[in-house]
Amino acid sequence: MGKPDFITIGYSDGYTGLARYWPPQGQVRGAVLYLHGIQSHGGWFEASACRLAQAGLHVLQPDRRGSGLNERDRGHARSSGRLLSDVIEATAWLKGKAGNRKVSLVGVSWGGKLALAAGMRQNGDIDRLVLVAPGLFPQVDLPIGQKISVAWSALLRPRRAFLVPLNEPELFTDNPLRQTYIRDDPLRLRHATARFLLASRMLDIMIQREAGQQAWPFAVTFLLAGKERIVDNDQTKRFARRLRCRQMRIIEHSQAAHTLEFEPDPKAYFDDLVAATTTER
């Protein structure tokens, strides 16, 4: 597997974020902005990013502010608008690198929620959305008492840290080697601030409010895991079927767990990911 270039992106509020950039190999077929989940970072998804680059795609994997390689403001974002602006600005960076091509936006788990919301905000630049086990309808969530604490803290103590309720690697994968990788990962985000969690909730509200309001000009592919323990697939499918977009597909890998990347043989998933970001069938 090849290695990415590590770059920095200067965001408009002065934050400098680290990202992995994979240049395309062979004939250029497009560009992919690749968003990770709430606990993960771009390093979890290097194998699929490399595969996309081999298929002729520019691939940019920004580690979300306060996560992964980004130590500043760990686990924090001040608002949903700031998170969306980061995606929009990363898209602009990638478009410049890729010769002003439109972008396919890939979001995994929580990153699927951010990807969908960002697509709704900048649909002129986005050609395709690929939502991989997207965190739109979680099965695992904060207890009601902690949600109340988050709401109060977001106003009074916005940087108060709360444990992200995804501590068990078994939620992500059945692969023992990858469970060990998750358990020992020093970059894994285990806490998020009250303000970040409020921002996440505001993304939920935005998506539910705007999803059915218009016909979106991009194609959407949902890639789901049949052995899902983190998100609710049935609710996700019902939502997908009412989403008005140029084209919509649902592909379920029945024997895979939540992080499809971590299956012992993810080739079929990688093939679907390449197809969803480069062609319409």
Nearest to 268 by CA among 82, 88, 51, 118: 51
What's the mean per-residue pLDDT of the chain? 94
**What is the rounded average pLDDT of the residues 6-28?**
96
**What is the rounded average pLDDT of the residues 243-252?**
93
Bridge partners (DSSP) listed for residue 32: 59, 104
pLDDT at 91 over 60: yes
pLDDT at 1 over 90: no
- The b/e string for 201-228 (b: 16+ C-beta within 10 A; e otherwise) is ebbbebbeeebeeeebebbbbbbbbeeb
Residue the block writes with tokens 């130590």: 71
Nearest to 29 by CA among 1, 3, 51: 51
**What is the rounded average pLDDT of the residues 87-99?**
94
- Are the CB atoms for 256 and 227 separated by under 8 Å? yes
pLDDT at 167 over 80: yes
Q: Each residue of 185-224: pLDDT tens digit? A: 999 999 999 999 999 999 999 999 988 777 888 999 999 9
**What is the rounded average pLDDT of the residues 121-129?**
84
The structural domains of the chain, ordered by start, are: 5-278 (3.40.50.1820)
Q: Each residue of 55-69: pLDDT tens digit? A: 999 999 999 999 999
- Are the CB atoms for 197 and 138 separated by under 8 Å? no
**What is the rounded average pLDDT of the residues 249-276?**
97
pLDDT band at 281 (very low <50, low <70, confident <90, very high): very low
Q: Each residue of 228-246: pLDDT tens digit? A: 999 999 999 999 998 988 8
pLDDT band at 279 (very low <50, low <70, confident <90, very high): low
